[in-house]
Amino acid sequence: MREIGRFRTVAIDDLARIRYHDNAGQMRQDLPALADQGLIQCRTAWTRANREKLAVAVLTERGKEVLDRHFSQGSSQQLYAGFVKPAEVAHDAAIYRMYQAEAGRIVASGGRIRRVVLDYELKQKVYSPLAKAKAKSLGTAEYAKRQTEVAGQNGLVVIHGKIPLPDLRIEYE
């Protein structure tokens, strides 16, 4: 369940392959049990111009509350609940796959993953202070300076007046 909460959306096939090591029988027991408890929600979304179905799981608000209470003490890991943007379900599910590939390399090299940061979290950290700066009607040079500060505080850079945000950042030791 923690795995689902770190990401906005996880494809059921990916859970079966990665988390359950292709033990579909165990997964077929666990997912309905978690859904019956109101901790996760499973849905089918259409992708690629409504040509392909994608079965996905997300954490519910109740599931997020449970994880927040029991597992996040001292953790800065942000958790996600619910279907945020239906049009981005396939993209969000692909981020989990991308994470798994990179996490495998990190762990194989002796690293330990501390947390996962999605673009959604970065957008909040970057755009909120910049919106306040704009509201103060800063001049162009002063706004550019503030933009550089905010980017630097988040391990990002300004390129041609914009701050490109990665879909995923893995923080590890």
Give the per-residue pLDDT at 73. Answer: 67
Give the per-residue pLDDT at 142. Answer: 87
> 150 Cβ partners below 8 Å, 6+ apart?
125, 126, 129, 130, 133, 163
Span 67-76, pLDDT tens digits? 988 876 667 8
As a whole number of angstroms, the distance between CA 77 and CA 114 comes to 8
Give the per-residue pLDDT at 72. Answer: 64
> 145 Cβ partners below 8 Å, 6+ apart?
none
Tokens linked to 159:
């390129």
Spell out the per-residue pLDDT of the chain, length 173, in tens.
777 888 989 999 999 999 999 998 899 999 999 999 999 999 998 877 667 899 999 999 999 999 988 876 667 888 999 987 778 888 899 999 999 999 999 999 999 999 999 998 999 999 998 887 776 777 888 889 999 999 999 999 999 999 999 999 999 99
- pTM (two decimals): 0.82
